[in-house]
């Protein structure tokens, strides 16, 4: 009887200890929330963060403060979130470096498992571009020329190890072509180089180059997602041109430090789902070449795992390492 009483008291004590944790989760959020953007202001991911931040604040009832923490291709900002107290007050604007960096770096300033996905809000197609004066009008023509003159064509990127660099390497592995890489210091410089005829082709995030496409400064041959872009309905996908399973995008979502209470994660996930279904948000994103499509935590986790496998294979095949 005494043993049973001790066991009952022990169980009651555990329940009592859990009450403050439950109350804390229910009271969240009680102060402003940081949303860390691991890139400088003005870029694609920063733009998306500033678009959803006010609506996320509205849904959660507390201000969402955007903090730019650039460096090391997004790794420094991710590391800061990974090391943050897992209380729901520090979040990460998640993007492709989370799945690309583990394939390129022998060591990272954080462990991938220290960051957990909450929700993927949308995706941005990359677009395959050529100079309008190149005489290349289709992907088939591009592949034929690349095979006829191996190594003579070159492509620009915004730097080694970026999603644009790896998109081109995936294109090379998918088509069996050899095209020389010319890295620039940034995407804007790379586009300028393409327009000036310094390079023959490149991949770029669609929103960043939509104006140049519409103005005729560059020619779009294909987009890299499975479906055509609403912003460029007349431009085929690479899958349509014969490259099976070529599906690449600059995706964006929200993640948190591992160990964040499940109730908090669920509330953020619900808020992201709701704002992603807002017609005004969708119209704004689509006008910039982005496409809304919500994935919850479990789906986002599976998406990221598949993305990581894809980039690991590309990095190994192309022998790309960054330290």
Would you list the domain boundaries of the chain?
32-124+250-318, 125-223
Pairing state between β 115-130 and 201-205: antiparallel
Residue 215: CB partners within 8 Å, gap ≥ 6?
none
The pLDDT of residue 194 is above 90: yes
What ranges in the chain are assigned the alpha helix state H? 2-27, 44-60, 75-83, 97-104, 139-148, 163-175, 187-195, 206-215, 262-276, 279-287, 297-318
CA distance readout (Å), 260 to 86, 117, 159, 185: 4, 11, 34, 37
Provide CATH code, domain 125-223: 3.40.190.10
CATH class held by domain 32-124+250-318: alpha beta
Q: What is the pTM of this model?
A: 0.86
Burial status of residue 17 (CB atoms within 10 A of its CB: 0-12, 13-18, 19 or more): exposed
Mean pLDDT of 180-203: 95
What is the 3-class SS of 203-243, one letter each residue? EEEHHHHHHHHHHCCCEEEEECCCCCCCCCCCCCECCCCCC
Query: Which of 252 and 285 is assigned the larger pLDDT?
Result: 252
88 burial level (CB within 10 Å; 0-12, 13-18, 19+): buried
User: Is the bond preceding 203 in cis, omega lying within 30 degrees of 0?
Assistant: no
| Across 177-201, average pLDDT | 95
Q: Which of 115, 133, 121 is nearest to 250 (CA)?
A: 121
pLDDT tens track for 131-169: 999 999 999 999 999 999 999 999 999 988 888 999 999
- pLDDT, one tens digit per residue, over 217-241 is 999 999 999 999 988 999 999 999 9
Q: CA 146, 223, 116 angle in degrees (round to 5)?
A: 115
**Rg of the chain, C-alpha, whole Å:** 23
Q: Average pLDDT for residues 44-64, to the nearest whole number?
A: 94
Alpha carbon distance 100, 115 (integer Å)? 14
Strand, helix or coil for residue 38: coil
Smallest CA-to-CA distance from 37 within 71, 86, 63 is with 71
Measure the CA–CA gap between 301 and 321, rounded to whole angstroms: 24
* Residues 278-317: tens digit of each pLDDT: 999 988 888 878 888 999 999 999 999 999 999 999 999 8
Domains 32-124+250-318 and 125-223 share a fold: yes
pLDDT computed for residue 12 by the predictor: 44
């Amino acid at each position: 009887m005494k043993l049973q009483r001790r066991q009952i008291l022990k169980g009651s004590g555990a329940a009592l200890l859990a009450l403050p944790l439950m109350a804390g989760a229910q009271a969240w959020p009680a102060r402003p929330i940081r949303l860390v953007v691991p890139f400088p202001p003005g870029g694609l991911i920063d733009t998306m963060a500033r678009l959803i931040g006010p609506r996320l604040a509205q849904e959660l009832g507390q201000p969402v403060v955007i903090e730019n923490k650039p460096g090391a291709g997004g790794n420094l900002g991710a590391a800061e979130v990974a090391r943050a107290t897992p209380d729901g007050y520090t979040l990460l604007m998640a993007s492709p470096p989370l799945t690309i960096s583990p394939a390129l770096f022998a060591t990272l300033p954080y462990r991938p498992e220290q960051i957990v996905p909450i929700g993927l809000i949308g995706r941005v197609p990359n677009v395959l571009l050529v100079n309008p004066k190149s005489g290349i009008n289709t992907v088939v023509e591009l592949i034929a020329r690349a095979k006829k003159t191996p190594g003579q064509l070159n492509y620009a990127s915004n730097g080694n190890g970026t999603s644009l660099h790896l998109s081109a390497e995936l294109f090379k592995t998918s088509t069996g072509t050899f095209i020389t890489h010319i890295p620039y210091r940034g995407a804007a410089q790379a586009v300028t180089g393409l327009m000036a005829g310094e390079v023959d082709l490149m991949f770029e995030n669609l929103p960043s180059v939509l104006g140049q496409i519409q103005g005729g400064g560059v020619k779009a041959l294909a987009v890299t997602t499975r479906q055509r872009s609403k912003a460029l309905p007349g431009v085929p996908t690479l899958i349509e041109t014969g490259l099976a399973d070529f599906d690449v995008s600059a995706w964006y979502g929200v993640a948190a430090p591992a160990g964040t209470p499940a109730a908090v994660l669920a509330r953020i996930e619900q808020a992201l789902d709701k704002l992603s279904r807002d017609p005004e948000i969708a119209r704004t994103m689509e006008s910039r070449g982005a496409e809304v499509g919500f994935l919850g935590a479990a789906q986002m986790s599976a998406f990221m795992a598949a993305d990581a496998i894809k980039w690991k294979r590309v990095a190994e095949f192309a022998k790309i390492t960054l330290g």
